Amino acid sequence: MKQKTVVLFMLFAAAMDAGTGMGLLFFPETVLQLMGLPISVPLVFVRWIGLFVTMTGIWYLLPLAKHKDAHFTELLKLVLLGTAILRALVACFLIWAMSFNHLDMPWWPVPVTDWGFAIAQAVMLLKGVRP
């Protein structure tokens, strides 16, 4: 897969995660309402999750700081692998939590999105990233 395609994907993922994360961090009630999710925990925990999601988005941007580096392709692959594993684990946890009624079913778009991104990233890694 061409580096340019991977970079565009990573920019999209970064914007989505960092945007959602900052929304949860600074405007948790509004974001949860927009997502159709009940506020069932103290907002400090929602903000904590927001910080985590923001940092996941920022993680996608890290290789771009080294775009002229000889190891740029390896950095892209490392971030794709790390965030794919992270997304898959988060999705598994959320599915478990919903299955045992620890989270309400309106959370379902989150693990679906995470699985979608994890699978897309796995496909990119399997196809190989090339200049």
Report domain extents, the chain.
Answer: 3-127
Q: Give CA–CA dist 112/105, Å, rounded.
A: 12
What is the rounded CA–CA span in Å between residue 5 and residue 17?
18
Amino acid occupying residue 100: F
3 in Cβ contact with 72 (< 8 Å):
yes
Whole-prediction pTM: 0.91
Residue 65 has pLDDT above 90, yes or no: no
pLDDT tens per residue across span 10-61: 999 999 999 999 999 999 999 999 988 888 889 999 999 999 999 999 999 9
Mean pLDDT of the chain: 94
Tokens of 53: 């999601």
Averaged pLDDT, 107-125: 96
